[in-house]
Amino acid sequence: MSIEIENESGVEAPLEEILNLADFALAKMHIDPAADIEILLVDENVMESYHLDWMQESGPTDVLSQPIDGLRPGKPNSLTPAGHLGLIVLCPQVAKKQAETAGHSELQEVLILVAHSILHLLGYDHAEKEEEKVMFALQQEMLESI
């Protein structure tokens, strides 16, 4: 997998752990090893700009996912074709606040957000109760396995 990660957030971030999770998650979802994904860590001001542009909502958010090639999960003997999975934009400063509220580590929060975003890039959603159960079960499985 080609996983490109850039930290423009101005704070230290667990880049190695993010890369490990992304690599594990994409392999688990049977994505062709030639596929690629971009992960961009930004500060709150930049995140607010993305949030406004992509969602027409003000204020910074924790993470945004922008699918590119519309790739979907493959199967053990039928990998998803190579392509550009998409872009994940994550704000460590917002993740830190959420971790404090949730009572777990900042690392745990960041990994939750990355796993969640990868699933969104692969077409999973949580708008409906049944979709939510499937998506959150996969997310939890990824986090426990890594």
Of the pLDDT bands very low, low, confident and very high (cuts 50, 70, 90), residue 40 is very high
Kindly tell me if the per-residue pLDDT of 117 is higher than 90.
yes
Kindly tell me if the per-residue pLDDT of 93 is higher than 80.
yes
**CATH number attached to the domain at 2-145:** 3.40.390.30
130 - beta bridge partners? none
Of the pLDDT bands very low, low, confident and very high (cuts 50, 70, 90), residue 1 is confident
How far is the C-alpha of 60 from the C-alpha of 92, rounded, in Å?
11
**Which residue in 82, 128, 124, 91 sits closest to 138, CA to CA?**
124
How far is the C-alpha of 86 from the C-alpha of 98, rounded, in Å?
24
Predicted pLDDT of residue 126: 93
Its sign, for the CA torsion 129, 130, 133, 134, is negative
| Distances from the Cα of 20 to the Cα of 24, 49, 58, 104, angstroms | 6, 28, 32, 20
pTM for this entry: 0.94
